[in-house]
Amino acid sequence: MAEEETQEEQPAEAKEGVVEEKRAAREIAPHGPSAAVVVAGQVPGTPIVSRRKVLQVGIFAGLGAAAAGIGACGLANLYPSEVSGFGGTVTVDPGDVPPPGGKTQIASGRFWLVNLNAEQGGPGLLALWWKCPHLGCTVPWRPTFVFPDPLTGAPKQGWFRCPCHGSTYTDAGVRVFGPAPRSMDTMALSVDANGRVTVDTGSVTNGSPDNADRALRI
């Protein structure tokens, strides 16, 4: 009886506060205090993955892919596939092989293919890198240029002559005049069983007076 009197005596605001607290508690835990909080879009029972975690995984995946790409490039440089053209091997078209005493400029390999006759120090083929050993200018063949032959002193027509500082070379690329420190450099040349001529432009030997001796018979 005394208890009923106490409840009846509670002010109206206090009663409303208690009701409000109970309603809030039901909304937070509708199935009791042990119920899990479910995030919108989440399958119940699966763990929540934070946005930061997703970003971290993405960044590490990107770095891994970049490292793999760099590694692949490094391996490609260490073990390059076969190179053709200048720096690699050049197969000379049969029509570009000059007759004895002649020469052909092979632009793809940056060399002169010369076919030395006996008078020029041959017989045989020689690949002369057209880069002047002095300062690197391209050396042309000058068929009308006349210069004294150092062996006989007699005028001779037709020389390799550098347009930059006048270095002058014989048919075999042997230096006879000018500031070049040596004769024209030669590239490794081979002839297969079918007579096909191949030049390895990556295999260069410094020029010297024995250039003509390197000529290869065909």
Residue 167 or 170 with smaller CB distance to ligand FES:
167
Give the nearest distance from C-beta 168 to ligand FES in angstroms.
9
Per-residue three-class SS string for the chain? CHHHHHHHCCCHHHHHHHHHHHHHHHHHCCCCCCCCCCCCCCCCCCCCCCHHHHHHHHHHHHHHHHHHHHHHHHHHHHCCCCCECCCCEEECCHHHCCCCCCEEEEHHHCEEEEEECHHHCCCEEEEEECECCCCCCECCEEEEEEEECCCCCCEEEEEEECCCCCCEECCCCCEEECCCCCCCCEEEEEECCCCCEEEEEEEEECCCCCHHHHCECC
CB of 80 to ligand FES, least distance (A): 30
The nearer residue to ligand FES, 92 or 176, going by C-beta atoms, is: 176
Shortest approach of ligand FES to residue 147 CB, angstroms? 14
Q: How far is the CB of 162 from ligand FES (least distance, A)?
A: 3
| Nearer Cβ to ligand FES (88/178) | 178
Residues that bind ligand FES (CB under 6 A): 132, 134-135, 137, 162, 164-165, 167, 178-180
